[in-house]
Amino acid sequence: MNTLVIATKNAGKLSEFKQMLGELPYRILSLTDFPYIEIHEDGKSFDENALIKAKTVATHTGFVALGDDSGLEVEALGGRPGIYTARYAGEDASDKDNIKKLLSEMKDVPWERRQARFVCSLALVFPEGRIFIEHGFCEGIIATKPRGKHGFGYDPIFYLPGYDKTMAELPDQEKNKISHRAMAAQKIKMHLIGT
Ligand SMILES: O=P(O)(O)OP(=O)(O)OP(=O)(O)OC[C@H]1O[C@@H](n2cnc3c(O)ncnc32)[C@H](O)[C@@H]1O
Ligand SMILES: [Mg+2]
């Protein structure tokens, strides 16, 4: 069986990929199986960072690697935090710290101006050199307080008007049908089938 290494340390992302790519004939590993690999996310865009992650892992392991760089673009903040989403409240910020910081920056923004989108860039790198990049987006609204226990990261404050729920109130299977990551993963699957 082929091996696919998800170039992430994020347990939430990994579990989503396992669910979304589970039916493919690949054994799925992640960075936790290769703890000695260091990745420097110093790209200037989601695409560059996704590619840095996947290339580093493909080079060190000799396996097919998938890099995910994702984040939140908030309209009222001119697209911030963007590629800095993970480090929004500082280098070692927790999800809770980041949510707190975003809610405080948004405290005077009225409901009708709280539009945001989740962005996901996925880079698939084959050890012999083939590269594919795909994107996915998910539109929502920044809630005024956290709600829900599912998912990870900013999910508790990402409100989906069509569901009247935050992303963290959706069961995992539902999130994995509509998320930015799901949209990008759907396209990446095409490149993994028949290889
Ligand atoms: O770099 P790796 O090891 O993959 O893990 P990471 O968590 O650092 O991932 P990123 O650098 O891509 O940063 C993504 C940020 O966006 C957030 N994020 C990404 N996808 C999300 C999702 O589906 N739901 C909620 N927050 C998400 C996540 O919590 C991080 O703060
Ligand atoms: Mg990261």
The two tokens of residue 58 are: 């493909």
Cα–Cα distance between 49 and 47 in angstroms, integer?
A: 5
71 touches ligand 1 (CB under 6 Å): yes
The two tokens of residue 168 are: 């963290």
Nearest CA to ligand 1 atom 7: 10
Task: Report CA(123)–ligand 2 centroid distance (Å).
Answer: 14
pLDDT tens for residues 21-70? 999 999 999 999 999 999 999 999 999 999 999 999 999 999 999 999 99
pTM: 0.97
pLDDT tens for residues 136-161? 999 999 999 999 999 999 999 999 99
All domains of the chain in start order, with CATH: 2-192 (3.90.950.10)
Runs of H (alpha helix) within 22-71: 46-61
What ipTM, to 2 d.p.?
A: 0.99
85 touches ligand 1 (CB under 6 Å): yes
Which of 42, 47, 68, 69 is flagged as catalytic?
69
Amino acid code (one letter) for 186: Q
Closest approach atom of ligand 1 to CA 31: 3
Cα–Cα distance between 20 and 128 in angstroms, integer?
A: 25
pLDDT band at 195 (very low <50, low <70, confident <90, very high): low
